[in-house]
Amino acid sequence: MKILSRYVLRQHLGPFVVGLLGLTSVLLVGLLSKREFVQALSAASRAGGGTAGRLMLLLLPAALSSAVPVAALVGTITALSSMASDREILAIRAAGIPYLRHCVPVVVAAGVLSLGLLGLNRQLVPRSALAGRVMVERVGLLSPASLFHERTRIEVFPNHLLYIKHIRGNRMRGVRIFALDEKGRMARKIIAERGTITGDAAGRRILLHLESGADTTLFPDSPERLRRVSFETYDLPLQLPAEVETGPTSDREMTSVQIAARIREDRQAGIAVDDLCAELHERDAMAFSALALVVLAIPLGARSAYGRAGALALSIAGVLGYYALMLAAERLAVTWASPGAAALLWVPNVVFLGVGLTLMWRQMRI
């Protein structure tokens, strides 16, 4: 049985490695094509000292986080489809070996990959994002709009928390801004339907032009008091720290341990933590997407001989289906903004695991 397990894993290794290298390269090119990274790489190459290479290396963990689950799906479907085409799976079953026997090493390998991705998403990806942002800022080519990311908490400005639902260029929609007092309590809340970002990031000055919103002043020492003013337009100047901030400025730059600690602090300060909870669940759910995709890929790949074109088509369909579900779950989690809404991010994994296990059970009965 050990010989069979090793053989099955060897059949998967080639397609997995090829898929991983190809997908990682594509994702890296996509990340590096962003304007701020093109400018930073140009300046870093002139600066020398391996700065450009270090910046590219810092993008690798984020690319691997997305590429590994997809490569696992492609490798599983391609390998099992090839084995089915060569009648190897039929021969295994004809020899009296249980159907699940050739599935176990693949599932175990997918579980190991998921555990590795869990550590990657919780620690290495946010630390690399932080180091990359600091490096880009230090070369002095960070554009104002690149300081802002949609659907993530932004903490680059002293005593301010920002959350923006949608960003296109320098245009924003669904803007929430919280100003904190010296004790870290929420003292002001600004909500706007839309706005624009202008300013000079190199000069450490940013101006938000907000439209159609409300400015609410709170009094932490007198909770029963508040003052609310509606506005059609409002200009909010924000000053960046004089020095480059080397600590996390958004939840994407915080490790999972740091986010959990921030959730406890913000709950005590009366600040909404739905976005932070969603970030935690999304990291873990994406890590275990490798396992969910492989469990679905096993019965699809072993069912019949699809050929390379068929295996590729199945892989693309599986990836598109998973990420469509994940995107819908993320939208619902942000829209509902309830304590348990973040758990919706596990729905794609549950659906793919359920479908995969059902198909495997049906094949066992054939």
- Cβ burial, residue 218 (10 Å; 0-12/13-18/19+): buried
Last residue of a domain, one of 271, 305, 328: 271
* Digitized pLDDT (tens) for each residue of the chain, 366 residues in all: 577 778 888 888 888 999 899 989 888 877 776 655 655 555 555 555 566 677 778 889 989 999 999 999 988 888 888 887 777 777 777 777 776 677 888 899 999 999 999 999 999 999 998 888 777 766 655 556 667 778 888 887 888 889 898 888 788 999 999 988 877 788 899 999 999 988 765 566 788 999 999 999 888 777 778 888 999 999 998 887 766 667 787 888 899 999 999 888 888 877 778 888 888 899 999 999 999 999 988 888 776 555 556 666 777 888 888 888 888 888 887 777 666 778 889 999 999 999 889 988 887 776
| pLDDT attached to residue 190 | 93
118 and 240 assigned to the same domain: no
3-state secondary structure of 241: coil
3-state secondary structure of 202: coil
262-320 pLDDT, tens digit per residue, is 888 888 877 778 888 888 899 999 999 999 999 988 888 776 555 556 666 777 888 88
Last residue of a domain, one of 251, 271, 291: 271
| pLDDT attached to residue 314 | 73
131 and 158 assigned to the same domain: no
Parent domain of 169: 144-271
DSSP 3-state percent helix, strand, coil across the chain (nearest 5): 65, 20, 20
55 and 120 assigned to the same domain: yes
101 and 154 assigned to the same domain: no
Residues 6+ apart with CB under 8 A from 352: 289, 292, 293, 295, 296, 318, 322
Last residue of a domain, one of 271, 294, 320: 271
CATH (domain of 249): 2.60.450
252 and 164 assigned to the same domain: yes
| pLDDT attached to residue 249 | 75
7 and 128 assigned to the same domain: yes
C-alpha span between 181 and 197 (Å, rounded): 24
10 and 67 assigned to the same domain: yes
121 and 154 assigned to the same domain: no
Residue 74 half-sphere exposure toward CB, CA atoms < 13 A: 22
| pLDDT attached to residue 140 | 52
321 and 199 assigned to the same domain: no
225 and 155 assigned to the same domain: yes
How far, in Å, are 90, 93, 332 from residue 366 at the CA level?
12, 11, 39
8 and 45 assigned to the same domain: yes
176 and 325 assigned to the same domain: no
DSSP-assigned letter for residue 250: B
| Number of domains composing the chain | 2
